[in-house]
Structure formats: C-alpha cells, structure tokens
Amino acid sequence: MVGYGLTMPKTPSRTVPDLGGMLDEVGMHLARRAGEALAEIGITLRMQCVLLHALEAERSQIEIAELSRLDKTTMVTTMDQLEDAGYAVRKPSPSDRRARIVVVTDEGARIAAAGQKIVDAVHRQALAALQPSERSAFLTALRTLAQATSTSDRPEASPAGVRRRRQRTTG
C-alpha cells in the first residue's frame, strides 16, 4: 500500500510450524489421489467411507454421516448414489421408526474391499517418501496427535483466543 500514505505492516514471525496447513495439504493430496483412483472402479471417496462405516457395525444413516463428517444433504446424496449402484440399501431401524439403518449389499462389500485396496495403495505410496524408521515414528506421533486433539475439543481445553462454535443444548 506504499504510495497511499500507508506502510505495509510487518508480517508476524511464525514461532510454530503451520501444522494445520501442512496436514491440510497432505490430506487434500491424499484425498485427490484416492478419489481419482477410486473413480476407476466407479465410486467416490465419500461412498467408500460410508460403505466402510456401514460394514463395521449396524449403524443409522445419521451415525454414519457423523463418522464420515458428512452433512445431512451430502449423506443423502451419497446414499442415493450407493442405492442406485446397488451397493447399499436403507432399512427402517427396529428400535427407532424415524431412523434408517444402512445395509451394505454383497456387491457393496465387494466394491468396498476393492476400494480399500486402492486407498491402502495410495497411503502406502505416500508413506514411501519416508524411511522405514521415520514411517513408524511418524505414524505413532500422528496417532498421538490425533488422539490428543480430538480430546481437546472440550471448551476447557481450548486455547485462549480461539472461538468455538456454541454447542446446541436440548431441553
């Protein structure tokens, strides 16, 4: 802004590496690579994620959406795609008439297994950039970090100055 009587403020010095930025960059790269590879067998990364969560345990569509970090509209669209492809169906829950349980078909289980091999290959290729000893240390540290940050979502553990979305309360 020089020339308008203003000077550019000094950029603050970074005192900690941009962990979020680095993790986002790696995550976006892996998601793009996995998505492109999964497209070759006719599914999306979202479809793969939903199939895996539905195969793990009997879960409602809402539970799978939460586990998959999908909003309601995206989950409905993804389930429509899975049903259209013959990979999953929605069945009424025996315990809650409003809920729908996602049931994976035999063909859906087959495509999920093929998809997991593809995703594993993408991850294996990314980890190949590290030496074997680095891989083990990296994965251990990443698991620890993931666990620590997931428990830090409680308000009392939030860093000062970081605003958190207010939790909805029922009552």
Residue 5: its pLDDT value, please? 74
* Spans of the chain below 50 pLDDT: 157-164, 166, 168, 171
What is the topology classification, in CATH, of domain 41-120? Arc Repressor Mutant, subunit A (1.10.10)
- pTM over the 0.85 mark: no
Residue 157: its pLDDT value, please? 44
List phi, psi (to 5°) of 119: -65, -40
Residue 154: its pLDDT value, please? 52
Report the C-alpha gap between 40 and 55 in whole angstroms.
22
In the Cβ-directed half-sphere of 50, how many Cα atoms lie within 13 Å? Answer: 32
Per the DSSP assignment, residues forming a β-bridge with 88 are: 104
Q: Structural domain boundaries of the chain?
A: 41-120
Residue 25: its pLDDT value, please? 96
